[in-house]
Amino acid sequence: METSSASPRQVFGLLETTVIVIVIGITALFAIPRVEARTEAPVVRKALQYAEWIAAHQTTRMRKGEGYSEHLAAFHDAQGALRPVPEEFTLTELKADGRRYWELVLTRREHSSSFGAYTIVFDSQGLNTYISTVPRALLPERYLHPAEL
């Protein structure tokens, strides 16, 4: 006569599998945002480099007495070519009042999975961290205020 009872080894295998799945899930919960931040941070750096390039040209224009410009056509590299806006961003706004202030707003074109849409606002004072919605975790340390470090 055969008895149809589950062997202790089969039950333990199910318990083991459950524990392993839970451990993998918890590990992924913490690892995935870090991986996403590592892939998104270079995109932010590229946008900041572009904004710094615009800032350098705005400063040069002021030194020459030309005033700040709100037209991209005013900004050329050493070879006389326009530098394109980083492909992941849209130039939402470039405004200037001539002599006192200018502002550049870049908006993330495609929503990054865990960060959503964000903007980078760069003005005559540098990166405006109060208006920018870029997650602080993606910014290089030099752009953070001492209290945010």
Q: What is the pLDDT along the chain (149 residues), one digit of tens a residue?
A: 555 555 555 666 888 888 888 888 888 777 666 777 788 899 999 999 999 999 999 999 999 999 999 988 888 776 777 888 999 999 999 999 878 899 999 999 877 667 888 999 999 999 999 999 999 889 998 888 777 65
Residue with tokens 């995109």: 43
Output the CA–CA distances (angstroms, integers) from residue 140 to 7, 48, 104, 148, in the order listed. Answer: 57, 10, 19, 11
> pTM (2 decimals)?
0.75
What is the rounded CA–CA span in Å between residue 49 and residue 38? 17
Chain length of the chain: 149
Instruction: Note the pLDDT of residue 3.
Output: 56
The kind and range of the H/E element at 53 are: helix 8-63
